[in-house]
Chain A
Amino acid sequence: MTESPAAASNAADEAIRIENVRRSFRSGGRTVEALAGVTAWAARSRITGLVGPDGAGKTTLMRLIAGLLLPDSGRIEVLGVDVAREPLAVQGRLGYMPQRFGLYEDLSVRENLDLYADLQNLAPGARAARYAELMHMTGLEPFLSRMAGRLSGGMKQKLGLACTLVNPPALLLLDEPTVGVDPVSRRELWQIIELLVRDSQTTVLFSTAYLDEAERCAHVLLIHEGRLLGSGPPQDFMAEMSGRSFLATAPIGRRALQESLAETAGVIDTVIQGGRVRLVTAASADPQAIAAGIAGLALTPVPPRFEDSFVARLRTRAVSGERRPTPEVAVTATAGATGGEGKREAVISVQHVTRRFGPFIAVDDVSFEVARGEVFGLLGANGAGKSTTFRMLCGLLPPSAGALRVAGFDLRTAAAVARRRIGYMAQRFSLYGDLTVRQNLTFFASVYGLSGSVQTRRIEWAMTEFALGPLLLARANDLPLGFKQRLALACALMHEPEILFLDEPTSGVDPLARREFWRRIGALAAGGVTVLVTTHFMEEAEYCDRLLIMSEGRVLTEGTPDAIKAAARRAELPDPTLEDAFIAAVGARGAAAA
């Protein structure tokens, strides 16, 4: 065989070959093109990352590869076999772990393993050795007889992985295995998978919406809206961006700085990171010229991230295509809310709150306060207790003990009018999907007591502010995810609340939509709106003024993102990320408990 150029591959090295695959679905009266002609390949005995935001087509591609769906056109070859023609031959050699893996919660860990061993025809004689191997690998040995339903989120994912691996597959398809898993378990999952590839030469296709995970893959397929935006080793993606990422500080507030930088020519991306602003420049831009534009600006070069390259690609697409509607975000008060700590009036106050569900303690003696105009983050993995705390604050759940106050009221017992002061955006942007955009807006406006000209004015505001005008008559279910999120926020803001509750507000949306969303939240906070947000997304936490990190129902640590990161600084970790800080905090608590 001759040396082939980097982009091409040897047929013998290819585990998966995807040729111009198209697949669309009918939903309602509309056809949605989930994959619009994707050509790609994945190498044997490597981890290939299938990276993209929700709705990019990742799951569809996985299901096509597993032979669970047929493509409309195009061809997929897996381990040298045409999947469409011989799905059974392919399925016999692959392990597929879908997003919601079918664990039987009322069976023990061992019974779940037995079940999958039966399903995968693993000879009874071979089981004991294989189980021991898998349990050792996943660290589940001590829990063999525990009910699967009583495992933590991370352990459930590990058990799911173990069940998929009972009969060692040649190809392992993992569909977003790290969603909602706490950072510690996430790292462990990655270590397990890396070990598997090294020791058993398994080929892994790993899909994820977390862009930082792309950096751990050997090869990345970046997809967005059904198209392949790029493929190659992650280092190649990041090399394009080298010398273009900086951390900026200036003697003005971080949100004001972000606003000024976003307006500066040559800057394609700005993200708040603790007290500083991380920016990415256009390929042609001169950092000196950017620095000269803002008084007192200091730029420190930082290594590029995978996300930078994704954003750069999205920006070039947006520029070459029609211009993205960038809504005007009115930034009224720049100083004051963020920097000015004149009086710290507690708008939200939680005092020694505990919540039990039967014998299970979901929230254990949690206390914190949020001041007016603050963006406050409740951070933690699934099951950490942040959603329970959030629901108690909204008045959706009574506490078992302790007191909660929102704007001076307990929302559970307060008169309905008190609720007029809060806005609420539920997880997954719960909207009335069969209603049009206008009907959704009108409904929420009416429910909040707006009528007549006030209602008309607010609906017009929502249309222009969120660029929803052209979509007024579209059904909410037919909107792309980013627009659903905008509509959900618009509905929550119809009545100009002074406190805003956001439950996982940007999970799964693409990075541009997330940036736009947070700019808006920043502007609202600057205008005096208090924002409480839950997230399991470390990235998102950087936007908050203050954070509370929860784990197993308790407060691990509380403070500004910078302070939390500073507390985790070690000689071997001079510039820790929030994720590092989270892991350090969990570790410290584990050590204290031991």
Chain B
Amino acid sequence: MWRRVLALIRKELLAVLADPRSRAVLIGPPLLQLIVFGYAASFDLNHAPIAIYNQDRSLASRDLVARFSLSPTFTVKRVLSSGRRIDALIDSGEVRAVVVIDPRFTRDLYRHVPAPVQVIVDGRNSNTGLLIEGYAGTILSDFSRAWSASHGGDPPPAVLDIRALYNQTLDSHWFIIPGIVALLTQVVTLLVVGLSVAREREIGTFDQLLVTPLRQIDILLGKGLPGLIIGMGEATVIIAATVLWFHVPLRGSLAALYLALLLFVLAVTGIGLAISALSATQQQALLGAFLFMVPSIILSGFATPIANMPPWVQWLTLLNPMRYILVVVRSVFLQGADLSSLGAQLWPMALIGVVNLAVAGWLFRKRVI
């Protein structure tokens, strides 16, 4: 039996690699997404355009303005001489925020009473707005501390001292790129497995397979295992790129990571086989794959934290294998996790995998053979 399954796997791999379109599916999206997520997508704020309306024009206020303009977070695009244009600038989106320094700024500093600085933030993108608020606050408190140190006066009564564990510089790439390992493995496995039966149905070779002595289980294995092999291969390439190219540290156990990936790919293969069984054409299969893929990414914690979702959606995410693998990937990469600490993620994936494969087998029997 294994000889036959092996022949099927060999054929499947040859066909995927020889067909320019499926080759493109294996190479195109991973490359594109690595570039997009590796370089373009980031939660960090960089070079946000701001305007400054400095009504004080003293040494102290110029020092504060310099802190804003030297910060990599902000780029000072406009220096205003009146407050009239503030609304228009924010409205047109030319600047994301305007820093307004009060005429009494220096006087109040010397008097040791709170010296007012207003930051008007574009709140249309709440996420960016919050980030600007945070960065502006940091710049201002740094300034206050430096001012008290050099000019006397009471230091701020309480000081926040933040130290980030696992990702000391809070570089959001470290959060995103390991997630891509899970994301791309899912995309590729799903497409390879989901389209393989439909492709054969379209060209008519599937009937040919069914009349050979291959049994249902042989065909199921022959269609599922190539996806597993390709998915694991894809994961390896992306792990290598994450470590060697993007220099994200891999601190935990590689064996634990691979075991988790194997369970994840099995679960996704089950979904791919189910899509395969249900779709008659490659177009339907592609549609089915995306129908699954989009919610599974949104409900995985890839970009938005699951803890922020409403409770019933959080319950829903428990069915999503990607939810678990993301935790595994991130904790192995950044936190140095090993097998013993990952049990809570592994057994749900294994359970989902078993259920998916069983359903796929049942659908195959009902719809295909």
A residues with CB within 8 A of B: 391, 394-396, 411, 416-417, 419-420, 422, 424, 426-428, 430-435, 439, 442-444, 446-449, 451, 475, 501
Q: Are B3 and A451 in contact (CB under 8 A)?
A: yes
- Known contacts A394-B207, A426-B204, A446-B7; decide if A435 and B15 are in contact (CB<8 Å): yes
Q: 25 A-B Cβ contacts within 8 A?
A: A394-B211, A395-B210, A396-B211, A411-B211, A416-B215, A419-B211, A424-B207, A426-B205, A430-B205, A430-B208, A431-B205, A432-B15, A432-B205, A433-B203, A434-B15, A434-B19, A439-B14, A442-B7, A443-B11, A446-B6, A446-B7, A447-B209, A449-B3, A475-B18, A501-B211
Tally A-B pairs: CB < 8 A: 73
Give the residue of B8, B10, B14, B203 whose beta carbon is less than 8 angstroms from that of A430.
Answer: B203
Of all chain A residues, which has the CB nearest B217? Answer: A416
Give B195-213 interface residues, CB cut-off 8 Å to A: 203-205, 207-213
Q: Are B7 and A443 in contact (CB under 8 A)?
A: yes
- Known contacts A395-B210, A420-B213, A451-B3; decide if A432 and B11 are in contact (CB<8 Å): yes
Give the residue of A394, A430, A448 whose beta carbon is less than 8 angstroms from that of B204.
Answer: A430
How far apart are B352's CB and chain A's nearest CB, in angstroms?
Answer: 31
Which residues does chain A contribute within 8 Å of B10, judged by CB atoms? 443
How far apart are A129's CB and chain B's nearest CB, in angstroms?
Answer: 41
Give the distance in Å from the alpha carbon of A443 to the alpha carbon of B13 in the complex. Answer: 12
Give the distance in Å from the alpha carbon of A449 to the alpha carbon of B208 in the complex. Answer: 15
Which residues does chain A contribute within 8 Å of B212, judged by CB atoms? 419, 444, 447-448
Of all chain B residues, which has the CB nearest A475? Answer: B18
- The verdict on B214 contacting chain A, using a C-beta distance below 8 Å, is yes
Which residues does chain A contribute within 8 Å of B215, judged by CB atoms? 416
Of all chain B residues, which has the CB nearest A416? Answer: B213
Which residues does chain A contribute within 8 Å of B214, judged by CB atoms? 416, 447
Q: Are B7 and A430 in contact (CB under 8 A)?
A: no
- Known contacts A430-B203, A434-B19, A449-B3; decide if A419 and B11 are in contact (CB<8 Å): no
Q: Are B3 and A446 in contact (CB under 8 A)?
A: yes
| With A432-B11, A435-B15, A444-B212 already in contact, 14 other A-B pairs whose C-beta atoms are closer than 8 Å | A394-B210, A396-B210, A416-B214, A420-B213, A426-B204, A426-B205, A426-B207, A428-B204, A435-B14, A435-B18, A439-B14, A446-B7, A447-B7, A475-B18
Which residues does chain A contribute within 8 Å of B19, judged by CB atoms? 434
Top 8 nearest A-B pairs (CB, nearest first) are A446-B7, A430-B204, A434-B18, A416-B213, A424-B211, A430-B205, A434-B19, A443-B11
Which residues does chain A contribute within 8 Å of B62, judged by CB atoms? none
- Known contacts A443-B7, A447-B4; decide if A430 and B213 are in contact (CB<8 Å): no
Give the residue of A391, A434, A448 whose beta carbon is less than 8 angstroms from that of B213.
Answer: A448
Give the distance in Å from the alpha carbon of A430 to the alpha carbon of B269 in the complex. Answer: 26
How far apart are B205's CB and chain A's nearest CB, in angstroms?
Answer: 5
Q: Are B11 and A439 in contact (CB under 8 A)?
A: yes
Give the distance in Å from the alpha carbon of A508 to the alpha carbon of B235 in the complex. Answer: 46
Of all chain A residues, which has the CB nearest B11? Answer: A443
Give the residue of B3, B7, B14, B208 whose beta carbon is less than 8 angstroms from that of A426.
Answer: B208
Give the distance in Å from the alpha carbon of A422 to the alpha carbon of B7 in the complex. Answer: 19
Which of B11, B18, B212 has its CB near the most chain A CB atoms (within 10 A)?
A: B212
Of all chain A residues, which has the CB nearest B210? Answer: A396
Of all chain B residues, which has the CB nearest A394? Answer: B211
Give the distance in Å from the alpha carbon of A444 to the alpha carbon of B210 in the complex. Answer: 12
Of all chain B residues, which has the CB nearest A411? Answer: B211
Which residues does chain B contribute within 8 Å of A419, judged by CB atoms? 211-213
How far apart are B282's CB and chain A's nearest CB, in angstroms?
Answer: 14
How far apart are A422's CB and chain B's nearest CB, in angstroms?
Answer: 7
Give the distance in Å from the alpha carbon of A518 to the alpha carbon of B6 in the complex. Answer: 35
How far apart are A435's CB and chain B's nearest CB, in angstroms?
Answer: 6
Of all chain B residues, which has the CB nearest A425? Answer: B208
- Known contacts A416-B213, A447-B7; decide if A430 and B207 are in contact (CB<8 Å): yes
Give the distance in Å from the alpha carbon of A444 to the alpha carbon of B18 in the complex. Answer: 18
